Amino acid sequence: MAEASGHRPLFSTQSASGRTVYKLFASSMLVSICLVLIYRVSHAPEAGESGRWAWFGMLAAELWFSFYWIITQSVRWYPVYRTTFKDRLSQLEEAELPCVDIFVCTADPVAEPPAMVVSTVLSLMAYDYPPEKLSVYLSDDSGSELTFYATCEAAQFAKRWLPFCRRHRVEPRSPAAYFAGSAGASDDKEHSDMKVGHVLFGFICKNLKFLSFQNLFREMESRIDAVSILGKVPKEQKTHKGFSEWTSEMTSKNHQPIVQILIDSREETSVDIDGIVLPTLVYMAREKRPQHHHNFKAGAMNALLRVSSVISNSPIILNADCDMYSNNSQSIRDALCFVMDEQQGHDVAFVQFPQCYENITKNDLYANALKVLSGVEFIGLDGLGGPLYIGTGCFHRRNALCGTKYTTEYKEDWKRRTKMENRETVSILEDRAKSLATCIYELNTQWGKEIGLAYGCVVEDVITGLMIQCRGWRSVYFNPERKGFLGVAPTTLPQTLVQHKRWSEGDLQIVLSKYCPLFYGHGKLKLGHRIGYCIYCLWAPNSIPTLFYLTIPSLFLLKGVSLFPEASSPWFVSFAYVAAAKNAYSLVESLISGDTLVGWWNIQRMWMLKRTTSYLFATIDNMLALVGASKAGFVITAKVAEADDSAKRYEREVMEFGTTASAGVMFVIIGTTALINLACLVVGLQRAVADQAFGGLLMQNVICGLVVALNLPIYEAMFLRKDEGRMSSSTVFASAGLTVLACALPVL
């Protein structure tokens, strides 16, 4: 219809098939869940009977699980898939394509090595897009001269790297990833592409010029690493005028604003070795003072919004984490297909790509890939009004990010003049930009409230996306076959648990604030869309019912008290169906999303561990914050490679515990839960053998057995392993002591 009227759409939307079958399945689940709850209410023990309090605790837990299962259905009801038509976009004149600003944030040169950061920057500079329309901004919240030095090196290396990418159609365009041969390692579908790529790679390697170019990159990388190890930039290597900004009194938390335009695409000298203009490259370190709160990543992003407004002021903004390199040189064109469509794109505020990783093991040991989230839940959110903004791999419309409300009269002027076209000198632009990156600029303004990213929440990205959608905009989710971005996932259990503690703490913080999606989005978002947000905002409260279900049935099995119907009872069918059907569907969903069978099992283990540790502490911290006893903080996840032995264990898919202090209490909870279930299972099976029947304890034996099976790597780390990644002796002793105490408690 659109093409018949003269409009050729730049993207299409298809609804997922098989929804009728799924709705029938979901209906059967709902009926069975209701029967389970009816049994709980109608068969409660009388006052004075053993297990009465536990019975009502089980009822409360099952009510929560039922409620949470219902809200997860919101994103499975109307999933949609998007397809772009980049060939139609390519028919536009280059002058008609909008300029794009790219924001990269880093905060710690130790946790986020400068060599890795600039490799990401180079991949973003090398997009298949008119380079004069690209401006790349690096925000360095540590104000480190090490990162500035690395950025200067990248500016010089770009003169050779960008022409090389064009000539050989390089993918990915991160030099570190390309020369490591790790392209597409996170996605099985791309493995077949790698076979062809390796043939081409091998052919090019025969060329002496290619080997010479690879050596140039390794030399640059070595210089950056040498400076990082030294901890300072030698005087003879401070060749750029920008180094004069650094003084001996400066620290990462106390320094003046720094803005340096390293490449100005307006200058005739800003060209690569082929004579083609280079993208603009800007280094920024906003002002930091101990007496001023800097609002973490949200503050950095808002400073970038202001600084870029006086340098390039592009209508489209891409933000990417410093470890999330571009894996697809066509991503900008894909995103523009959504925002530039004449009939369907006017109200698209941002285009979210999935967060994927290059270092995921075959069976996703720590369940960091979250393939069901990206392959099922986000496409379901897309059908309801748009996915969450997840803080990286996202293309924004500048006006939407700066607080503009959408109206039906709104129309973007893609040909509008940008400030990059003015002829102000670099020094003048730098001085103007510095004044926008000071600590006091935002005082008594709407920045962090109605303009830019929102302040006051650990997950500033999620709450910002929600606010944008409540202003009338919608978002789009795009998950291409070749992933748009690849990053580095945590490679140890402590890193994973701490990361999820931060995520879930921030998500719950949203629910407990005025921005609770159910109420804040009322009248602005569809009910299903608001409920979809709650899937993630209510991660943390799952902790208490999960911990209850993992321990209480087992402890009552130890005492011989039944909390479930006997296997011969008709009520048993409802319990069995809910458990079997829920997990069977979870397995199918996981396999379809690209996980392996062992990977799905690892996911179940990690959900158990995260719910009993990360989510538990996130819940506790939020409760303490409500009474003013705690304050949320931002923890940077390390992107640097672990020690050789740890890395080898990760490759072999052996869980890494180590001696991390921040996760010590978490490990005690994990160890105690594992030992309680092991002890109770042994006693339960002994009783069943002696009685030659399970009686009413079959379900408790099954639950206990499954928990023990999930915890096999935990027992191995506690008692069998001798490497440095095992669980510490103090943790084992503490867990054993708590287990004895729990098992000795009387039944109430």
Which residues carry out catalysis?
141, 461
Nearest alpha carbon to residue 352 among 447, 462, 449, 260: 462
DSSP-assigned letters across all residues of 301-356: HHHHHHHHHHHT--SEEEEEETT-EES-TTHHHHHHHHHS-TTT-TTEEEEEPP-E
b/e 238-277 (16+ beta carbons within 10 angstroms → b): beeebbebbeeebeeeebbbbbbbbbbbbeeebebeeeeb
Alpha helices in 635-697 (DSSP H): 644-651, 664-691
Q: Is 225 annotated as a binding residue?
A: no
DSSP string, 701-732: HHHHHHHHHHTHHHHIIIII--STTSPPHHHH
Distance, in Å, from the CA atom of 15 to the CA atom of 220, rounded to the nearest integer, reads 48
Residues near 87 by beta carbon (within 8 Å), at least 6 away in sequence: none
Establish whether 621 is an annotated binding residue.
no
Region for residue 641 given its phi and psi (left: phi exceeds 0; alpha: psi -120 to 50; beta: otherwise): beta
Beta-strand relationship, 394-397 and 316-321: antiparallel
Tell me if 267 is assigned to a ligand binding site: no
Secondary structure of residue 246 in the 3-state scheme: coil
Q: For residue 487, what is the enclosing H or E element?
A: strand 485-487
CA dihedral sign, ordered 246, 252, 258, 263? positive
Rounded distance between C-alpha atoms, residue 495 and residue 516, angstroms: 28
Number of H helices and E strands in the chain, helices first, is 27, 13
Give the C-alpha separation, 350 to 388, whole Å. 10
Angle at which helix 208-230 crosses helix 145-168, to 10 degrees, equals 170
Read off the DSSP letter of residue 374: I
Please state, in angstroms and rounded to a whole number, the distance separating the CA atoms of residues 154 and 148. 10
Fill in the amino acid letter for 282. V
Beta pairing, strands 258-263 & 348-352: unpaired
Residue 413 labelled as part of a binding site: no
Binding-site residue ranges for UDP-alpha-D-glucose: 112, 141
Binding-site residue ranges for Mn(2+): 297, 321
Binding-site residue ranges: 112, 141, 297, 321
